[in-house]
Amino acid sequence: MKATIKDFFGSNLEQEVLDKVVILPQGEYSTGYIFTLPDKLIWADFEEVYIELGLTSNPVAAFCGGTFRQPLSGLLGVSYSASTSALFTGGIRGLSLNGSSGEVYLDVGDPRGRVRRVVGYKRRISRVGIDELMSAMCLPNLIANADLTDNPINQRGFDGNWAALAVGTYGYDQWVKVSSTHMGAVIEAGKYRPSTKHTFTKDDVVIGEFMSPASGHWSVAVPFATSGKFDLYAGQFKRPWHPVLDGEKRCREHYQTDTVRQSGSSYASGYIQFASSSFAELMRKIPDVTYTDLTLSPATGWTEMTSRIYATRNNVSRIVRNTTLAGASSYIISDIVADASITLEELNGQIIYLQ
């Protein structure tokens, strides 16, 4: 059997929408008024029909001797004898005016009752064109670490215990604890369309639609989770989740771990040993670098040159000076953490909470 586009994308070619249809425009229509549907429509086309009811300008007694002049609105079932028209035969039916209760009551057929407006909502299947579909499929997923179920990126070795983290601390890569109950996917400034409608899904279920900020870093926050396939993209088109192929690269632009090492000989006191490493990915800014587990050989006779420990966006170095040795074979090994993550303060309050 020949495959079709729908075989690949399923029901996403068809989107259900509700179209608003003004059946009877704003006005004041008396009992006995017949209103007719717009051309080529019948009552059975509508999912819901709202009839707005009101009162004439004549005062109606209300509690404490006041007057009630404002329109009343309500949702009524539609009864009709013809497929395209209906006859309004009732008035406004409210609650009772029982002295102390202060509730308004108008009998069915009360001449003061009026229809003010009729609006219908018609369900429609919107068939998306293939160009629009392919364009939507090509929009980037703004969440770099999008598959916490099967392929989480976890350079920090997070154990999944969000409750144990302090607010503002990262768990999985690019997911930060933003409150006592929510984790947030961090979106970097310049990597999204500003002031644009975006859609957020988890496991192919739409969780929210919202406008992106006009500028700056921001985050979309959901309740703590240790699994889920997430998608965040510009537009209001529902699409199936698909893997983020460059997710690890994008995460490493914010956070990397590495080891620097160098071996050689130091021939006289005052010579230096220089160990450096290039980052796997260019970082988004010069990172804060933490060195751990420094190993030197020989173990004595070295002074660390703190003023010469430095990093760039693509490189990190560690330097030690020989103070007493001469002609000795030597090496230096050190683990490093390079952190250029966006902090909670840098989000500047631009956190969109969902659920």
Both structure tokens of 296? 């030197």
pLDDT digits (tens, 9 = 90+) for 311-323: 889 988 766 665 6
pLDDT of residue 125: 61
Both structure tokens of 311? 């990093």
Both structure tokens of 176? 């930060």
pLDDT of residue 106: 38
Contacts of 34 (CB under 8 A, 6+ apart): 85, 86, 87, 88
pTM here is 0.61
Q: Which domains, from first to last, does the chain contain?
A: 5-126 (no CATH), 139-252+345-353 (no CATH), 256-339 (2.60.40.2080)
Please answer whether residues 201 and 230 qualify as being in contact, where contact means their C-beta atoms are separated by less than 8 angstroms: yes
Q: What are residue 311's DSSP bridge partners?
A: 316
Look at residue 347 and give its three-state secondary structure: helix
pLDDT of residue 252: 96
pLDDT digits (tens, 9 = 90+) for 63-115: 223 333 333 333 333 344 455 555 544 444 433 333 333 333 333 344 555 66
pLDDT of residue 109: 43
pLDDT of residue 41: 79
pLDDT of residue 74: 36
Characterize the bridge pairing of strands 351-353 and 218-223: parallel
Instruction: Say how far residue 37 (Cα) sits from the centre of its chain.
Output: 40
Which DSSP letter does residue 176 get? E
Distances (CA, A) of 211 to 189, 202, 208: 15, 18, 10
DSSP secondary structure string for all residues of 187-218: E-TTSS-TT-EEEEEETTEEEEEEEPPSSS-E
Chain-wide mean pLDDT for the chain? Answer: 74
Block residue for tokens 């751990």 = 292
Q: pLDDT under 50 in the chain at which residues?
A: 1-11, 57-81, 88-110, 307
Q: How many CA atoms lie within 13 A of 226 on its CB side?
A: 7
Block residue for tokens 């003061």 = 112
Q: What are residue 321's DSSP bridge partners?
A: 272, 303
Look at residue 62 and give its three-state secondary structure: coil
Both structure tokens of 203? 């496991």
Both structure tokens of 61? 């007694």
Instruction: Identify the CA nearest to 277 among candidates 224, 333, 208, 221.
Output: 333
Please answer whether residues 304 and 320 qualify as being in contact, where contact means their C-beta atoms are separated by less than 8 angstroms: yes
Distances (CA, A) of 48 to 14, 90, 126, 192: 21, 19, 18, 37
Instruction: Identify the CA nearest to 34 among candidates 147, 115, 120.
Output: 115
Residue 61 and residue 214: Cα distance in Å, rounded?
A: 51
pLDDT of residue 88: 47
Look at residue 34 and give its three-state secondary structure: strand
Phi, psi torsion values for 176, nearest 5 degrees: -120, 145
Total residues belonging to the chain: 355
As a whole number of Å, the CA-based R_g of the chain is 34
